[in-house]
Structure formats: structure tokens, C-alpha cells
A and B are shown apart, each in its own frame.
Chain A
Amino acid sequence: MLLLRGSAPFARRFVDRSQKHGAQGAFLRLMLTALLTFIGVAHAQAIEPMPFRDHAQELRFQHLTHQLRCPMCQNETLADSNAPIARDLRNQIFQMMQQRKSDEEIKQYLVARYSNYVLYDPPLQPGTWLLWFGPLLILFAGASAVVIAIRKRHRGDDAPTEAQTGNGDDW
């Protein structure tokens, strides 16, 4: 009884606070739970135990599979994807590592079968020029637009003074 009475103000305060922040707090808690759950799931699914020779090989495997794109799922790396083909290709890469194939050989193997699509870092070749230099082109276009605009405005300000002095220094 005492306990109940004693705890009543706290309970009321808690209720008050929860009324004010309840929705927000609940949302945050939900998000946090979801986040933790999904992190767990993602790791549990993407990484199946493989008998690596040593830690260095495991790191190399992780590094390589993060550079390669899963053919099935477009926006996932081979390391992250849970698609059946990604699992098969991870196994294939693991097998090739056991055969002491280099990263370059493994990439070549995959490109020969699945095209450059599997490379997150596409090679520089005529078909990918726009991809590589497109952003640079846009940057230049933007920069020239800015330069032209500034010059125009500048000339607009100077024109009357130049007309007044008329020393013909435009040349």
C-alpha cells in the first residue's frame, strides 16, 4: 500500500512524460530494435562460415567480395547479397583462392562470364568514358556558366564608367 502510494507520483510523472514523449520514445525504440535486428540478420545471412587458411585470407576475401557486384540484385555486393547466385559465386571465389589464384585472375574469371557488370570499379574504355568523365564535363559546364554569368555582371557594372572615361582600354 505504502509502496503503491509512494510510487504513485512517480507513476503519474512517468505517465505525463510518456504522454509528452511517448510517441517519440516508442518510435525511437522501435527504430533501434529494427536496426539492431536487421544488422544481426544481414550479418547472419551474408556471412557463412568458410574454412579460411588464415585471417589474412579472410580479409582478402572480404575485401574482394566487397568490390564485386551481385549479378542478380544490382545494388548489392557479392559480400552482402543473399541471392543464391551470390552464394555460389562466393564459394567459387573461395575455391579459387584455395587454388592460389590472384584477385586479378578471379576478377577476370567473373568478367568473362558476367561482363564488367560485376565490377563496381569499371575499367576505363570507350564504352565507359562518359561514366568516368561525365561528372567532370558537368563540372566544367557549371563552372563555365558561372564564369560567363560573373563576367556579364561585371561588364554590366563597368560599362557606364568605361563609357564616361572612354579611354578605349577595352583592347
Chain B
Amino acid sequence: MSRLLPFLGFMLLVALFGFGIWWNTQHDQNAIPSPLLNKPAPAFNLPKLYEPTQRVSKADLLGQPYLLNVFASWCIECGVEHPVLEAEGPGLGVQLVGYNYKDAPADAKRWLAEHGNPYNLLIADEPGHTAIDFGVYGAPESFLIDAKGVIRYKHIGPLTPDVVEDELKPAIAAMLKEAP
């Protein structure tokens, strides 16, 4: 038995490292769990991308659920996500609000002209101050916000077809069931 001890110790280490590798493949290493989940979304007041003189606040959007999608023309992953938004956006059952993050408006417009515009509404946060209140640290990020203005779900990184099916749609369904 005592001869087996070093071997058992070794196997324990192997199991520990194996678990570590498995755990890391299951989780996005860059995703930070948002402390804002299930809390009221921060108040914001931002200009529209296409009509900068008009501003949109959180209060303006209360009453209907929406998916706030943080994107930018400089963001490579956003190009990966964009076709998914175009394909899935209309069928989600919520408004799609584009949040243009730290982007020159001209660049954003050119990018949208090139890739298409799946958004019902577009707001621009060029300095990126409001994004800090949302805990945004990159793009793309997506927030599902319900009719009462509470953040129900957050996804960091591009929305893939799998994420939409497995996470976003169930989250929307749960939200709509609760308050249709």
C-alpha cells in the first residue's frame, strides 16, 4: 500500500491537471461574470448614430425588451457576429439596439453600409464613458434588457448560432413568459 502512495499522489496530480484543462475548454477565459446581471441597467443618455442631435435615454426604451449589442467598426469579432445578427435578429422577438462603442461615426456608418444594418435603433458612445457603467471592456458584448430596464442576460464575445440557440433564445423566452 505504501509503495502505491507516490503513484496515487501522481494520479491525483494528473487528475487535477486534467480537470484544469477540461475546465478551461468549457469556459471563455476572457469572460468576466457581470455583477450587473439581474440588476437595473445603468442610466444612459446617448446620441443616435444617424441623427446625432437626437438623444436616447434608458427611460425612452422602457416598456419593451431589447438586445443591446455593443459593436465597433474596429472590432474584428463583430464582423464574425454580424451575419448572425442579420439572420437571427428579426426572429428574436425583441428590439435590436446597436451600441456603437468608441468608434468614429463616419467609420461606423461605412461599416454598416458595407455589412448591413440589422439594428432597429443605433446609439453612439464615441468617448466610451457610458460603456464603463455597463461594465463593457471590449466588443462585441450583448445585453438582454427587459421592459423594466433590468439586465437579464449578458454575453461577452460574438453571438454565434450556438449561443443564440442555447442561451439567448431561452433567456428571451424566460423573460417574455414572465412579463409578456
Interface size of A by CB at 8 A reads 15
Nearest B residue to A111 via CB reads B35
One of B51-59, B131-139, B165-173 at the interface: B131-139
Q: Which residues of B contact A84 (CB under 8 A)?
A: 102, 128
Per-position contact with A for B121-137: 1 when CB-CB < 8 Å, else 0?
Answer: 00000001101111111
B29 proximal to A (CB < 8 A): yes
Per-position contact with B for A53-79: 1 when CB-CB < 8 Å, else 0?
Answer: 000000000000000000110100000
Nearest A residue to B5 via CB reads A145
The DSSP consensus for interface residues of chain B is loop
Q: Is the Cβ of B29 less than 8 Å from the Cβ of A113?
A: no
Q: Which residues of A contact B32 (CB under 8 A)?
A: 71, 114-115, 117
A115 CB contact (under 8 Å) in B2, B30, B35: B35
Residues A72-94 near B (CB distance < 8 A): 72, 74, 84-85, 88-89, 92
Residues A111-162 near B (CB distance < 8 A): 111-115, 117, 152
B34 CB contact (under 8 Å) in A74, A85, A92, A115: A115
Residues B99-128 near A (CB distance < 8 A): 102, 128
A152 CB contact (under 8 Å) in B2, B129, B133, B136: B2
Interface residues of B, Cβ cutoff 8 Å to A? 2, 29-30, 32-36, 102, 128-129, 131-138
What 6 pairs between A and B have smallest CB-CB spacing?
A71-B137, A113-B135, A85-B137, A115-B35, A117-B32, A72-B137
